[in-house]
Amino acid sequence: MISLPSGTRIWLVAGITDMSKSFNGLGEQVQHVLNVNPFSGHLFIFRGRRGDTVKILWADADGLCLFTKRLEEGQFIWPAVRDGKVSITRSQLAMLLDKLVWRQPTTSRLSALTAGMALQPC
């Protein structure tokens, strides 16, 4: 993943976004709907109607960057909020992109089973 400068915020744009939008359309949505400057250096993450595609808009010192991820199966976990924006952490972003439940991470069943076991000396 690209290294982000400290102070960079990561915003999930709530609701459904038309995935045919590109730099200008997504930047306009950030500016007019969220009232944030799209060149602020923050990440803005948009999800499509089917839930299998996200786009990330980010401005660095050289210009706008647009990243897209489309899942072959399944959907991205997304907040139920219909409008506005939701701030997430870098760890939550990594979990979101890996299709993990980033809102309440849980341990795997194997980890839960082995957590109480102690090693016995031979």
Where are the chain's structural domains?
Answer: 10-114
- The answer to whether 54 touches 48, Cβ cutoff 8 Å, is yes
- The answer to whether 78 touches 47, Cβ cutoff 8 Å, is yes
Question: What confidence tier does 5 reach under pLDDT thresholds 50, 70, 90?
Answer: confident
Report the candidate in 40, 53, 58 with the shortest Cα–Cα distance to residue 97: 53
Helix (H, G, I), strand (E, B) or coil at 46: strand
Q: What are phi and psi of 65, to 5 degrees?
A: -120, 145
Q: How confident is the model at residue 108, as a pLDDT? A: 45
Task: Look up tokens 């060149």; give the residue.
Answer: 39
Region 10-38: mean pLDDT is 94
pLDDT tens for 66-89 read: 999 999 999 998 887 777 888 999
How high is the mean pLDDT of the chain?
A: 84
pTM (predicted TM-score) = 0.79
Q: How confident is the model at residue 47, as a pLDDT? A: 95
pLDDT tens for 86-118 read: 899 998 899 889 888 766 545 444 444 444 444
Q: How confident is the model at residue 122, as a pLDDT? A: 43
Task: For residue 82, count CB atoms less than 10 angstroms from its CB and return exposed for 0-12, middle for 13-18, buried for 19 or more.
Answer: exposed
CA distances from 86 to 16, 18, 34, 93 (A): 14, 18, 11, 12
